[in-house]
């Protein structure tokens, strides 16, 4: 299988914002931060209120009929031809990479492929479509970054996070050992194979702690609740946030309005 | 596949993956042995490909394999014809049992009492050693790792490095108990003593059994990749050499081999090439002074022709058995090779074994993955392993009415309870109004959020529901 | 139906229908033409990295170097080819600094245990080498049988610098292997080794402990 080559569009006037269910319920701040960053770039953000979930949990569990029915409910949310931005590599990957397969041989095949072609991981979009320039207003600090496996391997954005953080002059990005190794989340994997998952996340937390930093950022809320949740429960001195929250908080008040 | 297995293979219950994985995770020795070995292999692989256009090379590897598979029946016939011209006898086996019987019959015809073996994963698949022993024929492994594993009465825990789960101390103890070698932590000494013992065996063995890495149709050549020289011994010293291979190993020409070889050894152990690349195209000729008088090739199907039927599953057959997927697998690294209880462990095992043993028995294999994609990223022939895992998950729960499951034993994992949960989930998430109501209510009553959520909270704090959902906040912003 | 027919029929009648045959572009394997000097340097670097030894020789002095190599190792004898010019010149050189010269001119069955237990070193020719991977190409035959390069603890190979190819792909094409292969052909890239005990390298596990290449420039 040949991955489609990424051809970035010109910066559009509007985008559809696909928030994802985890951001919706647990990390809406990250979603709002993403919206703010886009608006500051002069982009109008359209938020279809009928969005729910991309269908990935059922898809990766093998329940493709159920995944398809949920995914189908998302296909009509984006009637204009604006790009669809997603603050998650994992949901982005589901939509961009797996929707075409999921709807193959159905009446929605063409629509699914069309929607998939418009899906962008949000940090990638900010860097490579908006050509965002970040001005750091924060105090000097150190941070580590965990790029989710789907952001890295399905969406191909491993370079993006470090580049964005690199624009922040007071932020020192440190790299943990084995940065490309999975944190052990894997959706339902974490509950189907809890011992293996926890063995993985414990090593990830140790790797982050060993960098000496107290904070990490990540592209995906699944990794975030896994890594931060493990660290909290086991009283490891590292806290996490979504990279969008971090970028917004470092640059807030510059050129745009801030919503608390 | 034959329904009446003559010897029942699986000594280990594949279904007991969970307890074995758990035990491995809590065994610091296993954790350390695998972690350090896999770290080393990953970094060596990286270095070995420096200066190569790896993506283009992997594309070539994938295409070479796909081209061979596209012509598989023709290539097999061409291979057979050429081998026969070269004086090599060809046998076909639909399954492991038949392959075992073929090997036995060749041995019996020669009145063979001892068989020396080079490394062959297909023979592991056939469980040839046990079978031959039952038939009164001694079968001795000669690859050092396989030899160690056989002395310990274990199975390989890695397809390239069979004894990777053992450290030097354990191996020394084992060699001491089984062969009388003095206890020592000096690897050179241990290796030298194995050399002595095995040389004796090579000289006296009646038959050599080996695997095959590539079978070349154009020239009728069997290629073997190895470092130790035991493969060369096995295929040269005994009077009779039997090679066993899966039917998918055939390629059209030596040129294809040059591409696959460049990928294989670098992916496997980070070597630019192995010490020996052994190309066998016939038995000893009248004027030659050494080499086997007889050479046989056993072509083993054992489920492969079933995999071949389906366009997506077919990719499984591209595999060149380099082991890179397990070296890079975070799950394999944690649980080690034995936890799987299968001939092939790790990612390749998860996508291949369900076809060999059935998805009923292998139902836990596809789920034991976080779908991180590291395997697919390094696979030298670009097998989309994560996609195949998802496909097998779907097959194991009969989860797609549009694409009915095909793999033997499909649907074995489906439980009506789980199916109902997903149905309910789908109903809620396919109805935006209900979804917004539900998530909104959850946020409103978030104080009631349980602090325990099954296995999740055994190791982590639960994620905290936000006071307002993103939907609500966007609505407030007028969006 | 025979198993052969069963298998072939299943493959031919595949339910997925006919498969498309992809194009294979081998140009990624082609290296720029390295100069002879570059090839020698790369070959040497590669083979030394896997514990092999390289000696630069000329037509005039390779025997002297060979004698040194053997004497420092205390080799009692050397297995040589009967017909090949390497063997011929060694036998006719009349040197007294060489150990006893042995010839592999009988079937293995008649002297197996002697070969396995008494022979200290062997010397063979090569059909060239591969710079990129540090490999020697050997096509054993009745003059230089298969076990010559495998059983003795020291294997010495003579390689002509002019026969050094850049890659395996190039060598195989240049020598037209597609036209037919001998009963046994080999690429040898270093002495026999294993890392099966805790990833620790040990040499000479089944084959030679040492591989020494005399490059004739
Ligand atoms: S699946 Fe790919 S990476 Fe894994 S053993 Fe096979 S060829 Fe190697």
H, E, C per residue of B60-86: HHHHHHHHHHHCHHHHHHHHHHHHHHH
Tell which residue, B118, B150, B82, has the closest CA to residue B292. Answer: B118
How do residues C94-136 score in pLDDT, each as one tens digit?
A: 999 999 999 999 999 999 999 999 999 999 999 999 999 999 9
**Cα gap C89→C193, rounded to integer Å:** 32
The reply to whether C22 falls in a domain is no
Q: How far is the CA of B44 from the centre of ligand 1 (A)?
A: 16
Under a CB-based contact definition with an 8 Å cutoff, are residues C187 and C49 in contact? no
Percent above pLDDT 90 for chain B:
92
What pLDDT does B72 receive?
98
Percent above pLDDT 70 for chain B:
97
Q: Which domains does chain B have, with CATH numbers?
A: 20-49+322-414 (no CATH), 52-302 (3.40.50.10420), 432-476 (no CATH)
Among A47-61, A176-190, B150-164, B435-449, which is the least confidently predicted range? B435-449
CA-nearest residue, atom 6 of ligand 1: B319
The reply to whether A134 falls in a domain is no
The reply to whether C88 falls in a domain is yes
Four-point Cα dihedral B462, B468, B473, B474, nearest 10: 60
Assess whether A92 and A166 both reside in one domain.
no
The reply to whether C4 falls in a domain is no
The reply to whether A259 falls in a domain is no
DSSP B267: H
The reply to whether A6 falls in a domain is no
Non-local (6+) Cβ contacts of C121 within 8 A are: C70, C73, C75, C77, C78, C79, C99, C152, C153, C154, C155, C156
Residue A260 pLDDT > 60: no
Q: How far is the CA of B319 from the centre of ligand 1 (A)?
A: 5
Residue A259 pLDDT > 90: no
Under a CB-based contact definition with an 8 Å cutoff, are residues B292 and B240 in contact? yes
Number of domains in chain C: 1
User: Higher pLDDT residue, B479 or B32?
Assistant: B32
CA-nearest residue, atom 7 of ligand 1: B319
Q: Is the pTM of this model over 0.90?
A: yes
Assess whether A120 and A171 both reside in one domain.
no
The reply to whether A8 falls in a domain is no
Q: Which domain holds residue A35?
A: 14-128
**Residue in C1, C2, C5, C7 to test binding to B, most B beta-carbons within 10 Å:** C7
The reply to whether C120 falls in a domain is yes
DSSP A150: I
Among A44-48, B207-211, B364-368, which is the least confidently predicted range? B364-368
The reply to whether A198 falls in a domain is yes
CATH of the domain at A165: 3.40.50.1860
All chains having 3 or more CB pairs closer than 8 angstroms to chain A: B
- Taking residues B66-87, what's their average pLDDT? 98
The reply to whether A256 falls in a domain is no
Assess whether A75 and A30 both reside in one domain.
yes
Q: Is C32 on the interface with B (CB under 8 A)?
A: no
Under a CB-based contact definition with an 8 Å cutoff, are residues C121 and C133 in contact? no
CA C176 to chain B, closest CA, distance in angstroms equals 10
Residues A168, A169, A171, A177, CA torsion sign: positive
Residues 34-63 of A with CB under 8 A from B: 35, 45-47, 49-53, 55, 57-63
Four-point Cα dihedral C80, C86, C87, C88, nearest 10: 180
Number of domains in chain A: 2
> What SS3 state is found at B321?
coil
* pLDDT confidence band for B69 (50 / 70 / 90): very high
Assess whether A169 and A82 both reside in one domain.
no
The strand pair at A14-17 and C184-188 is best described as: unpaired
The reply to whether A4 falls in a domain is no
Assess whether A82 and A168 both reside in one domain.
no
**Cα gap A222→A242, rounded to integer Å:** 10
Assess whether A241 and A176 both reside in one domain.
yes
Phi, psi of C158 (to 5 degrees): -100, 125
What pLDDT does A4 receive?
54
Work out how many CB contacts closer than 8 A connect B with C.
256
Residue B9 pLDDT > 80: no
Angle CA B27–B33–B37, to nearest 5:
150
**Cα gap B127→B96, rounded to integer Å:** 8
What pLDDT does B7 receive?
42
Assess whether A206 and A171 both reside in one domain.
yes
**Cα gap B436→A48, rounded to integer Å:** 12
Residue B5 pLDDT > 50: no
What pLDDT does C32 receive?
79
Under a CB-based contact definition with an 8 Å cutoff, are residues B211 and B120 in contact? yes
The two tokens of residue B452 are: 């325990």
Query: Pocket of ligand 1, candidates B349, B351, B379: which has the most ligand atoms within 8 Å of its Cβ, to mutate?
Result: B379
The reply to whether C16 falls in a domain is no
Among A1-10, B234-243, B436-445, which is the least confidently predicted range? A1-10
State which H helix or E strand residue B385 sits in.
helix B385-396
How do residues C153-182 score in pLDDT, each as one tens digit?
A: 999 999 999 999 999 999 999 999 999 999
All chains having 3 or more CB pairs closer than 8 angstroms to chain B: A, C
**Residue in B116, B140, B164, B290 to test binding to C, most C beta-carbons within 10 Å:** B290
The two tokens of residue A160 are: 């993006």
Under a CB-based contact definition with an 8 Å cutoff, are residues C188 and B287 in contact? no
* pLDDT confidence band for B3 (50 / 70 / 90): very low
The strand pair at A14-17 and A84-86 is best described as: parallel
Under a CB-based contact definition with an 8 Å cutoff, are residues B318 and B65 in contact? yes
Under a CB-based contact definition with an 8 Å cutoff, are residues B469 and B440 in contact? yes
**Cα gap C207→B72, rounded to integer Å:** 36
Kindly give the number of the ligand 1 atom that is closest to the alpha carbon of B347.
4
Query: Pocket of ligand 1, candidates B214, B327, B381: which has the most ligand atoms within 8 Å of its Cβ, to mutate?
Result: B381
- Taking residues B87-99, what's their average pLDDT? 98
Under a CB-based contact definition with an 8 Å cutoff, are residues C162 and C128 in contact? no
Average pLDDT, chain B: 94
CATH of the domain at C43: 3.40.50.10420
Q: Is A24 on the interface with B (CB under 8 A)?
A: yes
Under a CB-based contact definition with an 8 Å cutoff, are residues A56 and A28 in contact? no
The reply to whether C212 falls in a domain is yes
Q: How far is the CA of A154 from the centre of ligand 1 (A)?
A: 19
What pLDDT does A90 receive?
97
Give the residue ranges of DSSP H helices in chain A: 21-25, 28-40, 56-60, 64-75, 89-93, 99-102, 109-116, 122-128, 149, 160-166, 189-192, 194-210, 221-233, 243-251
Under a CB-based contact definition with an 8 Å cutoff, are residues B147 and B141 in contact? yes
Residue C4 pLDDT > 90: yes
Assess whether A108 and A150 both reside in one domain.
no
State which H helix or E strand residue B107 sits in.
helix B96-109
Among A5-19, A30-44, B264-278, which is the least confidently predicted range? A5-19
* pLDDT confidence band for C31 (50 / 70 / 90): confident
Assess whether A124 and A149 both reside in one domain.
no
What pLDDT does A79 receive?
96
**Cα gap A61→C108, rounded to integer Å:** 60
* pLDDT confidence band for B446 (50 / 70 / 90): confident
CA B263 to chain centre: 17
Assess whether A119 and A156 both reside in one domain.
no
Angle CA C77–C83–C85, to nearest 5:
85
The strand pair at A84-86 and B240-246 is best described as: unpaired
What pLDDT does C110 receive?
95
Assess whether A181 and A205 both reside in one domain.
yes
Under a CB-based contact definition with an 8 Å cutoff, are residues B285 and C182 in contact? no
CA C13 to chain centre: 43
What pLDDT does B451 receive?
79
- Record: contact C197-B190, CB cut-off 8 A: yes
- Kindly list the distances between the CA atom of residue B60 and the CA atoms of B256, B262, C25, C165, C208, in Å, as whole numbers in the listed order: 9, 11, 7, 22, 35
How do residues C63-87 score in pLDDT, each as one tens digit?
A: 999 999 999 999 999 999 999 999 9
Of A107, A128, A149, which marks where a domain is finished?
A128
* pLDDT confidence band for A253 (50 / 70 / 90): low
Which residues sit opposite A174 in a β-bridge? A144
Give the residue ranges of DSSP H helices in chain C: 3-12, 36-49, 62-72, 85-93, 112-118, 168-174
Which residues sit opposite C136 in a β-bridge? C129, C188
Residue A157 pLDDT > 50: yes
Q: Which domain holds residue C81?
A: 33-216
The reply to whether A74 falls in a domain is yes
Residue B276 pLDDT > 90: yes
The strand pair at B114-117 and B138-141 is best described as: parallel
Of A99, A128, A157, which marks where a domain is finished?
A128
Assess whether A208 and A245 both reside in one domain.
yes
Which residues sit opposite C188 in a β-bridge? B276, C136
Average pLDDT, chain C: 96
């Amino acid at each position: 299988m040949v991955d489609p080559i990424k051809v970035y569009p010109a910066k559009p006037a509007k985008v559809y914002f696909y928030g994802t269910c985890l951001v919706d319920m647990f990390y809406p701040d990250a979603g709002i931060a993403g919206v703010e960053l886009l608006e500051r770039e002069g982009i109008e953000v359209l938020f279809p209120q009928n969005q729910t979930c991309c269908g990935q949990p059922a898809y990766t569990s093998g329940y493709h009929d159920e995944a398809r029915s949920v995914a189908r409910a998302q296909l009509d949310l984006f009637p204009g031809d604006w790009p669809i931005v997603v603050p998650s590599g994992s949901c982005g990957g589901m939509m961009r990479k797996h929707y075409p397969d999921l709807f193959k041989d159905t009446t929605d095949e063409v629509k699914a492929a069309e929607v998939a072609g418009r899906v962008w991981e949000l940090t990638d979009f900010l860097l490579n479509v908006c050509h965002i320039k970040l001005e750091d207003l924060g105090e000097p600090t150190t941070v580590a970054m965990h790029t989710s496996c789907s952001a890295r391997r399905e969406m191909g954005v491993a370079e993006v996070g470090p580049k964005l953080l690199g624009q922040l002059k007071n932020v020192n990005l440190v790299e943990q050992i084995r940065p490309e190794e999975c944190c052990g989340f894997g959706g339902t994997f974490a509950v189907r194979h809890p011992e293996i998952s926890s063995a993985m996340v414990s090593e990830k937390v140790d790797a982050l702690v060993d960098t000496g930093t107290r904070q990490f950022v990540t592209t995906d809320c699944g990794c975030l609740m896994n890594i931060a949740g493990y660290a909290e429960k086991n009283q490891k001195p590292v806290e996490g946030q979504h990279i969008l929250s971090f970028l917004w908080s470092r640059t807030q008040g510059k050129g745009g309005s801030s919503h608390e | 596949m034959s329904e009446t297995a003559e010897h029942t293979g699986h000594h280990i219950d594949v279904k007991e993956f969970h307890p074995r994985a758990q035990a491995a995770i809590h065994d610091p020795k296993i954790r350390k042995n695998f972690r350090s070995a896999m770290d080393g292999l990953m970094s060596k692989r990286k270095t070995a490909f420096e200066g190569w256009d790896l993506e283009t090379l992997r594309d070539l590897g994938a295409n070479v394999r796909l081209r061979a598979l596209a012509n598989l029946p023709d290539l097999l016939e061409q291979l057979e014809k050429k081998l026969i011209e070269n004086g090599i006898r060809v046998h076909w086996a639909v399954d492991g049992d038949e392959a075992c019987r073929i090997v036995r019959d060749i041995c019996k015809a020669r009145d063979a009492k001892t068989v020396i073996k080079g490394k062959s994963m297909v023979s592991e698949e056939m469980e040839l050693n046990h079978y031959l022993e039952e038939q009164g024929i001694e079968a001795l492994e000669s690859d050092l790792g396989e030899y160690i594993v056989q002395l310990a009465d274990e199975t390989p825990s890695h397809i390239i490095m069979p004894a990777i789960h053992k450290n030097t101390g354990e191996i020394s103890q084992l060699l001491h108990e089984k062969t009388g070698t003095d206890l020592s932590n000096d690897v050179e000494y241990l290796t030298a003593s194995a050399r002595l013992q095995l040389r004796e065996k090579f000289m006296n063995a009646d038959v050599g059994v080996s695997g095959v890495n590539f079978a070349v149709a154009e020239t009728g050549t069997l290629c073997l990749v190895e470092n130790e020289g035991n493969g060369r011994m096995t295929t040269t010293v005994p009077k009779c050499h039997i090679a066993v291979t899966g039917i998918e190993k055939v390629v059209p020409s030596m040129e294809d081999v040059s591409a696959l070889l460049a990928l294989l050894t670098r992916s496997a152990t980070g070597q630019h090439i192995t010490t020996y690349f052994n190309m066998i195209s016939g038995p000893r000729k009248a004027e030659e002074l050494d080499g086997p008088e007889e050479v046989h090739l056993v072509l083993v199907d054992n489920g492969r022709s079933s995999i071949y039927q389906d366009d997506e599953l077919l990719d499984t057959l591209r595999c060149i058995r380099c082991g890179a997927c397990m070296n890079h697998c975070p799950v394999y690294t944690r649980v080690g090779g034995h936890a799987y209880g299968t001939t092939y462990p790790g990612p390749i095992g998860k996508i291949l074994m369900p076809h060999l043993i059935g998805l009923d028995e292998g139902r836990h294999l596809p789920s034991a993955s976080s779908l991180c994609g590291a395997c697919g990223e390094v696979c030298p022939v670009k097998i989309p392993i994560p996609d195949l895992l998802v496909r097998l998950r779907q097959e194991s729960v009969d989860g797609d009415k549009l694409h009915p499951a095909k793999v033997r034993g499909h649907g074995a994992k489906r439980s009506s309870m789980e199916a109902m949960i997903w149905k309910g989930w789908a109903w809620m998430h396919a109805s935006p109004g209900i979804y917004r109501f539900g998530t909104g209510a959850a946020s409103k009553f978030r104080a009631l959020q349980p602090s325990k959520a099954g296995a999740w909270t055994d190791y982590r704090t639960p994620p905290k529901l936000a006071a307002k959902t993103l939907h609500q906040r966007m609505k407030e912003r007028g969006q | 139906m025979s198993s052969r027919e069963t298998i072939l029929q299943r493959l031919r009648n595949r339910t997925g229908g006919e498969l498309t045959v992809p194009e294979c572009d081998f140009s990624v394997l082609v290296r720029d033409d390295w100069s002879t000097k570059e090839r020698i340097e790369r070959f040497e670097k590669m083979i030394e990295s896997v514990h092999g030894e390289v000696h630069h020789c000329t037509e005039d002095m390779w025997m002297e170097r060979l004698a040194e190599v053997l004497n420092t190792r205390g080799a009692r004898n050397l297995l040589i080819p009967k017909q090949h010019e390497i063997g011929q010149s060694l036998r006719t050189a009349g040197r007294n600094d060489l150990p006893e010269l042995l010839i592999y001119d009988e079937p293995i069955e008649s002297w197996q245990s002697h070969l396995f237990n008494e022979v200290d070193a062997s010397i063979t020719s090569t059909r060239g080498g591969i710079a990129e991977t540090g490999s020697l190409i050997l096509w054993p035959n009745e003059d230089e049988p298969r076990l010559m390069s495998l059983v003795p603890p020291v294997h010495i190979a003579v390689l002509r610098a002019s026969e050094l190819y850049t890659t395996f792909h190039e060598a195989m094409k240049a020598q037209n292997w597609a036209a037919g292969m001998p009963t046994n052909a080999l690429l040898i890239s270093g002495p026999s080794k294993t890392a099966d005990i805790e990833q620790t390298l040990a040499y000479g596990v089944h084959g030679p402990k040492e591989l020494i290449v005399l490059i004739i420039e």
